[in-house]
Amino acid sequence: MEDLSGALNSISLGQKDSELVDSFGLYVVTWNVASAEPPDDVYSLLHLSSPKKPDIYVIGLQEVRAAPLKFVSDLVFDDSWSHLFLSTLAPLGYVKVTSIRMQGLLLLFFSKLDHVPFIRDIQTTYTRTGLYGYWGNKGGVSIRLSFYGHMLCFLNCHLTAHMNNASHRVDEFEHILDAQIFDANNTPRILDHKAVFWFGDLNFRIADHGMHFIRTCITSQRFNLLWPKDQLTMMKEKETVLQKFEEGPLDFQPTYKFDLNSDSYDTSGKKRKPAWCDRILWRVLSKSLQEGVVEDGCDKEEQKKTREEDFPLRVTQECYTGKMDYNISDHKPVVAIFCLELRKMYDTPLVHVCAEGDWSADLDALISYSPLQSFSSGAWDWIGLYEVGFKSISDYITYTWVKDDQVAFIDELFQVYVSKDDIPVRGGECVLCYYSSNLQCIVGISQPFKVQGSRAAIEEGCLPENIDGLNQAVAS
């Protein structure tokens, strides 16, 4: 299997056209898990042994178990797959920024904490294509957002199956592109975004070749002999909507269809031919928008809104491979590592937030915050108290309303109140996060600070004197 270390280590700062640009590592996973429960760990899948970690993980799953009772419980609690990725990535400094699920389709977006205040304009949506659009076993789920001012969209699809449905798969994809509308003036549709990453179980097969020839090519690793008959490759030659999507070479063995808990291709009576069903493609919006050339049906007035400083954004694929060491499904997962090179549109958070004085569960506390840039502060904005290493935006310990709990306002410096009853009695290392209800995202994060445990609880013998002591007590 291809070594990913060099790809991850290659992601660094650089100079492009005499302008400083920043580089960010993006790690994309797609996997049809065939209703299986998660494996014991996903360290190999996420390549966590590398000393250089990506800035963003985007994980798209298909056929997550969606039985009615299971699906209802997953809406209330994190599903087992989300829980595994959360518990794996959170200790490494990643936060789940957002996610979306439609029956068996699940899309997760994780970011290093440092980037979270610069991820804005987050929206999610979905499109059903199963059973004439009424059933969500097939279709697409998407996450769109602004990353340092550059609009990105991630689309996870599960398209219709079977060899003779190649054209229908393209029709489904076009329907998803047409159906998904975002509440945004400049980027209302998927293809309006600066960069689009399209992945999933796209279900395209290898046409014409017989089973013996395909398996011989796989055994000899002469994958290139199969490329001309890959249905997605063939459809790109005649379908305009596909032609602007790029894909790395398929220099890994087909990821479908395997016997469960095995590395052997289908030995059942059906003996389905191996295929590259699981794919990751991307598309970068052309600079022609700023040169007055009409693209993708956009009118010229809309194009004028595209600012010169919005560019450049460069996407380079560093690695594209299958992960053959996972065998709980009849599909193998596929991963791609990208380098995003861009010039930040902003590098200051919207809000500066900090904890005032000493914090403990015995005293009421104050939070100070001040806007660093103009933005629309909403009546439902709040500041959450989180433990260092929190897993997701919803993982707060407590929160205070910015407007309702305000106690002071001096020269753009605001203070809000937190009751001691809401501060955790056991203490620990914490941060404060300002959440904008209008932007639907965190727009400011404090420096970590210490919350002292309750003295009364310690004196009563209920708690050790610090969080480390508590952990030791629990362990013993």
Q: Are 204 and 276 in contact (CB under 8 A)?
A: yes
Confidence of residue 187 (pLDDT cuts 50, 70, 90): very high
Residue 427: the pLDDT is 85
Residue 95 CB-density burial (10 A; 0-12 exposed, 13-18 middle, 19+ buried) = buried
Confidence of residue 425 (pLDDT cuts 50, 70, 90): confident
The answer to whether residue 463 scores a pLDDT higher than 60 is no
Residue 458: the pLDDT is 52
- How far is it, in rounded angstroms, from Cα 244 to Cα 229? 20
Confidence of residue 312 (pLDDT cuts 50, 70, 90): confident
Contacts (Cβ under 8 Å, ≥6 apart) of 375: 350, 436, 438, 439, 443
Confidence of residue 409 (pLDDT cuts 50, 70, 90): confident
Among 288-302, 344-358, 381-395, the range scoring the smallest mean pLDDT is: 288-302
Confidence of residue 262 (pLDDT cuts 50, 70, 90): very high
Pairing of strands 150-158, 195-201: parallel
Residue 12: the pLDDT is 43
Residue 368: count other Cβ atoms within 10 Å of its Cβ.
Answer: 18
The answer to whether residue 376 scores a pLDDT higher than 90 is no
Mean pLDDT of 446-471: 64
Q: DSSP secondary-structure letter at 423?
A: S
Mean pLDDT of 123-137: 77
- How far is it, in rounded angstroms, from Cα 307 to Cα 320? 32
Cα-Cα end-to-end distance for the chain = 42
Confidence of residue 7 (pLDDT cuts 50, 70, 90): low
Residue 453: the pLDDT is 82
Mind listing the pLDDT tens digit for each residue in 323-348? 999 999 999 999 999 999 999 999 99
The answer to whether residue 18 scores a pLDDT higher than 50 is no
Domains along the sequence of the chain with CATH: 5-342 (3.60.10.10), 351-470 (2.60.40.2840)
Mean pLDDT of 244-262: 97
Hey, is 109 helix, strand or coil? strand
Mind listing the pLDDT tens digit for each residue in 353-371? 999 999 998 999 999 999 9
Confidence of residue 301 (pLDDT cuts 50, 70, 90): very low
User: What mean pLDDT value characterizes the chain?
Assistant: 87
Residue 300 CB-density burial (10 A; 0-12 exposed, 13-18 middle, 19+ buried) = exposed
Q: How many residues does the chain have?
A: 476
